[in-house]
Amino acid sequence: MKNIPDRERLIFALDVADTAAARKLVERLDDAVQFYKLGLELFMSGDYFQLLDWLTARDKKIFVDLKFFDVPATVAAAVQQLRNRGVTFATVHGNQSIMEAAAAAKNDVKILAVTVLTSLDRGDLDDLGFQCDVQQLVLSRARRALEAGCDGVVSSGMEASMLRQHLDQRLLVVTPGIRPVDNRPADDQKRVMSVEQALRMGADYIVVGRPIRDAADPRAAANQVQAEIAAAVGAFSKPL
């Protein structure tokens, strides 16, 4: 496994309605979470960059998850706006030229290419016109992302082991769709797995949102995930 501090492997998806709610939740989570993902909901609420600066001032790591998808020059200009702001990751969607433009503009920001959203399954891909299976599509997009100069991918844990087998081990794999095995909520995530499963499959980071946000005690829920990460990493690191 990569030399990543255990407590930074958890990325909390800060999916709330506005920045006031976001700050309140961050303060409630306190030291249980070190890494935050800021997505479209907060971006559309306003004050996105003020929140980003507020988090970095508290030594939190930031994942800007806006899935840039536009003409390459526009994507490059958007990525440039994130440089030297304490942003660790940013996501990009789209074809080779879009990924190349993002990678060329990244500077201190690591670019993650989206492979196949964890809310999509085989039926959804059929609807979108993809004839290959999910694993083939993920592997193809990951290969192209590496060729384009991206640092990693966002991928379900179901494909992480395949990526580890076929691609450069330096590739970062960030895995969303993490759910407790015995208490999966009814939501829009279809390709899900547990913390231990995702790390065992080769994920470097896991993204957890609703299971922490909607818990009766979000800080306790986050600490439970952190304990599961530490236990899993510790078990994997033991010599055979």
Q: Is 67 a catalytic residue?
A: yes
Neighbours of 182 (CB within 10 A): 6
Of 24, 37, 67, 190, the catalytic one is 67
Measure the CA–CA gap between 181 and 175, rounded to whole angstroms. 15
User: Which residue, among 58, 62, 31, 35, has the nearest Cα to 48 in the 3D structure?
Assistant: 62
Q: What is the C-alpha separation between 173 and 164, in angstroms, rounded?
A: 9
Contacts of 10 (CB under 8 A, 6+ apart): 33, 34, 35, 205, 206, 208, 222, 225, 226, 229
* Listed residue (116, 111, 118) closest to 152, CA to CA: 111
3-state SS assignment for residue 167: coil
CA nearest to 210, candidates 202, 218, 201: 218
Three-state secondary structure readout of 100-136: HHHHHCCCCCEEEEECCCCCCCHHHHHHHCCCCCHHH
Residue 160 · residue 193 · CB < 8 Å: no
Active site residues: 67
